[in-house]
A and B are shown apart, each in its own frame.
Chain A
Amino acid sequence: METVVKATNVKKVYGLKGSIYTALDDINLTIETGEFVGIMGPSGSGKSTLLNVLSTIDHPTSGDIFIDNTNLAQMNEDQLSAFRRDKLGFIFQDYNLLDTLTVRENILLPLALAKIKARDLNQKADKIAEQFFIDSILDKYPYQISGGQKQRTAVCRAIITNPSLLLADEPTGALDSRSATDLLECLKELNETDKTTILMVTHDAFAASYCKRVLFIKDGTIFTELVKGNTSRKNFFKKILDTLSVLGGNGNDFV
């Protein structure tokens, strides 16, 4: 199996002298192809910082990050943009769809930006939309569709470039439980059938239970790790809840 993400001794410090705040402290992390990894932790634990650093939106203070064996530290701004476009796919809590574009155009956007020949773009969009059950709303605008549909559009947009890594930041945060379940099933399906590597940040134990492996972060370090293995999703969910209670903090953070 190949390594998609390899982070060694990643450190992120905010602020200047006087009031220094360490968001990430010596993080070491490896994600293999086809994995579905969840990252959990209380508010302020550093999980979003970790995602930002891994997704190249933010730079680590020290340490190295390799994605597909490419060292992010050695890339300049433009290369990073191109890298994001070609290798990474993003799903955000608030969808981040462009309201001036139709659903189809939103999905196609990354391909268009990569200046890929337009000939079979539409078919591609149709196919991927069918997979996520949004083929009937392809020509609608984002303000005309529901939250769940929006998020599935966002997923389509994220995976249309066949990214090496799909990053999801609280993808179910703004969805009702029905839509959330649908979305998670989709992600699982994606991971199992297409072997897409997914890294998902969440504070929802239910969402995390769809992952194959869950990392717990506390005070900027990896506190522990749970692997699903052959346990059922329900049991895995319980395990996660147990770990969270051990993790401490305010339990209310994790429901």
Chain B
Amino acid sequence: MTLFDITKKNIKGNFKNYLIYFISMFMCVVIYYTFVSLQYSTKIADSIESSQNMQMIFMIASIVLILFVLVFIMYSNNFFTRKRKKEIGLYSLLGLPKKTIGRMLFYENLFIGGIVLVAGIAIGTLFSKMFTMILIKLLGTELEIGMTFSLSALVHTLIVFLTIIFFTSIQGYRLIYKFKLIELFRSDQEGELEPKASIISAILAVIFLVVGYGFAFRNFSTSEEIMVNLIIMTIGVIVGTILLFDSLIIVLLKAIKKKTSYYYKGMNLISISNLVYRIKGNARTLSVITLLSATALCAFSVGFGMYHSFEQSAKQSSPFSYMFVSQSESFNKKIDTIIQDDKEHPIKAKLTLPVIKVAGEASSSKVLSDRDKQEDDKPIKIISMKDYNKAADVLGLNPVQEIDDKHAIAIRPMYTDYTFADVYQGNILKVDLPKGEDKTFEFAGMTPDRVINWSYPDIMIIVNNKMYDKIKTQVPPIHYMGYMVQGQTTTKQTANTLAGVRTPESNLLTFYSEYRVGIEGAAFNVFILGFLGLVFVMATGSIIYFKQLTEATSDKFRYDILRKIGVSRQAINNGIVKQIAFIFIVPLVVALVHYLVILGLLKRLFSAMASSDILPPILVCVIVFVTIYIIYYVLTVNSISKTVNKKSSPLIRRVSLAIVACIVAMAGIFLWFNPPTSNDDKMTVTEKIKLELPKPTGKYLVGRVDMHLVDKKRVDPWVKNTSRELMISIWYPAQQKSKTKALYMEKKAAKYFDEKSISSIGVDSGLIDLSATATNAWKDAPVAMNNKKLPVVIYSPGGSIPRNFGTVLVEELVSRGYIVVTVDHPYETSVVEFPDGRLVTEKLPSVSAETILKMMDVRVKDIRFVLNQLEYFQKGNNPDHEKRNLPAGLNKVLDLSRIGIFGHSAGGATSAQSMYEDRRLDAGIDMDGTMGHVPDHLLPVAQNGLKSPFMLMHVGYTKDGKVDSHLPNKDRNSFWKQSTGWKFDLAIPKGGHFSYTDYQVLLPQISQKLSVSSKVMEKSIGNVDSEKAIAAQKAYISAFFDQHLKGISQPIFKSPSPFKEVDLIK
């Protein structure tokens, strides 16, 4: 008989012991592999990378999981070998050499490990698929998560477990050397002492929990108080929980023991005395399980709250699946046909809502502000009660109650948290009617539920039907056409088709477009958090299962005694059922209580979670959680009952059969519904959307050459292991066209940008070909030589925005006789492509004052380096790192005695600070950029100002409804006061932060072809007329450089603005 035979026989003979060990290892592999395959799923990996919180959560999760796996396997291995000490002792006694026994144990362990790994990974693959399916079904979104079999996940799991298995195998090998023979025989007789529990710890447990809970409920107003609450709550809950299991429960159980009328009753005697041992022995495990469960539930709820708030806000801004303002009959018909043609989303309801728009006055500026009146000469929308309630019925909202002629009900404007008491109560709204008889309404109530598309200004009231009819005789209503369709979260195709026919007047909005923005990210977070939650619940369930099972095997003889002295199987089973229930229920209940308390605090922290609509999903996740525990409970009871009675009771057998059937059925359903297909179907067929830039207005053709600069004297401050290198473009007036247009963006960079950044505006990647955007620049075109030197202007883009997004303004300046140099700031810009095809992507540390100030420092050094290289170039050298040919004579037209600089956002601040540090720069413009990390970390230029000419450009309004300018901003206000040179401040109030980039022309083009959320449009470029906004920018920027670099005085700075889109700040 060879050693291998003995090993094989051992495994056969000890099958039961092996099985427990096997199962525990197997569960570890399944859980770990499931987790790792989540981590390696590319899409998820990306989304983790983009969020610091997720990174943290994942890091902590993986540490906890590895610890769990390690401890769990060590524990079960320990238990397993202890069970077998006698057997090993016997071999030794029979004269088998220690070395042989050791080798035998080693092989055995390897053998089991191998089988476990294969089986675990196979089942793990199925599990991860199943979890994915469950979660996606729960979320109900079109999440595409490529959770397929991943080779790297496999390798990762293999490495971790082979290491662990190897280690435990060595442990087995060493076992025989570590013990004396006599110890090997005695191992099973080590008696347990009766657990002691101190009353003091029990009281402390109560105190910690009460204090922790108390701080969870304590009110807070400052962020410091929030921190204090969080910290004390966390400590209280953690320490309280540990003491609870370590002492409090034991003390309570012992108190029950004193109550003899209960204690001396049937199996109570056995169960309770057993529990005292069990709980005490497992105190640490149980507290960890409790805390992990509570944390998992909280994390999932927060994720869901966020997710839900996205959906809610989409419902607020676009209550109907599709809605537009009725136009000509043919237009309405066209839209109706498009919606009808979408057979996958049948129409549930179709509604026409007449709304009257009028002018008026309010007794409070919160109800109706001056800005509202400026924005629209008829800012007030009136809807009749009948129509509102009709819409409310379709949308599943609460109807409003009848009111009289003198009263109106307000509909809360979006993006506000107005309450009736704070804003409307006691206020009066006067409505102007053209034929006189102005109506005055007092507010009788407010509803937060909107029924028409959001548009600015957002003032809407409900009046009773009689009053509405009266007003109607004077002002004809406009008609909002609303459609509700089935499955409105997936109407991408139709939304895009509709975008193609939309007109600005129709104000056509689709729910999908609003919903799409951000929902994917939020859904990912919920998915990941949910997945982690499930993995942890599974892990904790496995721990209890395994521990109870191992303890039951050692308790077996107790049950034998009971059977001998006349306790029926039934009674023993009942005892086990009760006893195990206690062990499962206590952590479950404590975890749920913790969860509810913490949730209370979180609700007050995140308003998104306060909504009552979030209750059902939270309930679902609690139910899922409890269900998984119940499954584990049934499994545990079943296994124990099997061990103790040598057969399972029929009920338990049936339940476990049912569970297995459920799991199999679920897997089946999953495979049936989601046959493995690739996701890239339709996209490749459709032609990509091409965008175009407007023609510049000046007389020159535009030429462009790209240059790769390397600053050998500077180590890159963001990555440290290489010299700082930059990509710049020089744009210059061209003599004639060259063979090819310059690409808007290099191809690889455009692809990357499309994949990573375009989704942030709610548009799918792969639809737009950015690099093919029609520019007006000719690549490497011959330089216009008319013996005139031209002033140079540097352009610095905003944070993370590639340099090409300033092309519209750059081309304009060039066409008017400037040489413009645009500069990328690598590692800070989302993507930069170098001539060798390398992509350098964003690698900034987390945002802090330190990061921002360092970023500014790097940017200024970049600009100064570019200036040096331009001087080097002017002298006839080639600064390009690859020494590529540069257009002949370009160096000769550079006039480096007149240099201006402008930039958007961070680039604007860069302009100002570069001027402050480098006298070669003569004039500059900051387009909506903060000068430093406000409020307390101002850049030196903001503290000390400039002597040279400088122009500030702003957009939008402040919180108080005033036009934004240097005045309300601490940094620019200081800059303004300290600056002694020529200075000018203007604003485009209706614009957005990105109005000063190419987005101002690109986004409206995209929204003509694809459905883009109105919210995204509003936030990025406001609702200013695109062409006029660009015209105004071109005029002011050209005028500024004309005056300060070319020395031509500009009347535009001395008169009121000729553009009604522009406000001048005095």
Contacts and interface: CB of A to CB of B under 8 A. Distances in A.
Q: Determine if chain A interacts with chain B.
A: yes
Interface of A: 57, 77-78, 81-86, 88, 90, 92, 96-101, 105, 108-113, 115, 117-119, 121-122, 141, 143, 157
Interface in B8-28: none
A254 B568 CA distance: 36
Given A100-B274, A100-B277, A84 B566 contact: yes
B778 to A, nearest CB: 91
Given A100-B274, A100-B276, A105-B269, A77 B261 contact: no
Contacts of A101: 269-270, 273
Which 7 residue pairs spanning A and B have beta carbons closest together?
A: A85-B566, A84-B566, A81-B568, A118-B264, A112-B264, A118-B261, A96-B561
A157 B561 CA distance: 12
Contacts of B569: 77-78, 81
Given A96-B561, A108-B269, A112-B268, A118 B260 contact: yes
Given A78-B570, A98-B270, A98-B558, A121 B264 contact: yes
Nearest to A87: B566
Given A98-B558, A100-B273, A101-B273, A85 B567 contact: yes
Nearest to B259: A118
Interface string B231-266: 000000000000000000000000000001111111
B191 A157 contact: no
A99 B561 contact: no
Interface string B194-213: 10000000000000000000
A153 B962 CA distance: 91
22 contacts: A57-B564, A77-B568, A81-B568, A82-B568, A83-B566, A84-B565, A84-B566, A85-B565, A85-B566, A96-B564, A98-B273, A98-B558, A99-B191, A99-B192, A100-B274, A101-B270, A109-B270, A110-B565, A113-B266, A115-B265, A118-B261, A118-B263
A109 B193 CA distance: 20
B261 A119 contact: yes
A127 to B, nearest CB: 16
B570 A109 contact: no
A82 B566 contact: yes
Contacts of A100: 194, 270, 273-274, 276-277, 558
Contacts of B1052: none
A99 B276 CA distance: 12
Given A98-B270, A99-B191, A112-B266, A121 B565 contact: no
B571 interface: yes
Count chain B CB atoms within 10 A of each CB in A97, A115, A122 and give the residue with the most: A115
B693 to A, nearest CB: 83
Interface centre among B191, B274, B561, B571 (most CB of A within 10 A): B561
Interface string B945-980: 000000000000000000000000000000000000
B194 A141 contact: yes
A121 B262 CA distance: 12
Contacts of B273: 98, 100-101, 105
A14 B262 CA distance: 44
Given A98-B270, A100-B273, A101-B273, A118 B265 contact: yes
Interface in B542-565: 558, 561-565
A97 B565 CA distance: 11
B269 A78 contact: no
A78 B260 CA distance: 26
B853 to A, nearest CB: 66
Interface in B156-199: 191-194
Contacts of A111: 264
Contact of A108 (B264, B562, B563): B264
B153 interface: no
Given A98-B270, A101-B269, A141-B194, A81 B264 contact: no
B82 to A, nearest CB: 18
B646 to A, nearest CB: 13
B281 to A, nearest CB: 11
Contact of B269 (A83, A84, A109, A141): A109
B261 A81 contact: no
Contacts of B265: 112, 115, 118
B567 A112 contact: no
By DSSP majority rule, is chain B's interface helix, strand, loop, or mixed? helix
B591 interface: no
Nearest to B275: A100
Contacts of B262: 118
Contacts of B191: 99, 143
B719 to A, nearest CB: 63
B634 interface: no
Nearest to B262: A118
A180 to B, nearest CB: 22
B555 to A, nearest CB: 9
A113 B194 contact: no
B267 interface: yes
A141 B564 CA distance: 21
B250 to A, nearest CB: 13
A188 B864 CA distance: 111
Given A101-B273, A108-B264, A78 B558 contact: no
Given A99-B192, A111-B264, A112-B269, A81 B566 contact: yes
Nearest to A163: B566
Interface string B706-733: 0000000000000000000000000000
Contact of B260 (A92, A97, A109, A121): A121
A86 B261 contact: no
Given A96-B565, A105-B273, 11 more contacts: A77-B568, A78-B569, A96-B561, A100-B274, A101-B270, A108-B269, A109-B269, A109-B270, A110-B566, A113-B565, A143-B191
A85 B562 CA distance: 10
B565 to A, nearest CB: 6
Contacts of A143: 191, 193
B532 to A, nearest CB: 38
A226 to B, nearest CB: 29
Given A86-B566, A100-B277, A112-B268, A81 B561 contact: no
Contact of B571 (A86, A97, A113): A113
Contacts of A99: 191-192, 558
Contacts of A92: 564
Contacts of A105: 269, 273
Contacts of A112: 263-266, 268-269
Nearest to B572: A81
A101 B272 CA distance: 10
A81 B565 CA distance: 8
A87 B566 CA distance: 9
Nearest to A108: B264
Nearest to B270: A98
A157 B564 CA distance: 13
Contacts of B566: 81-86, 88, 110, 113
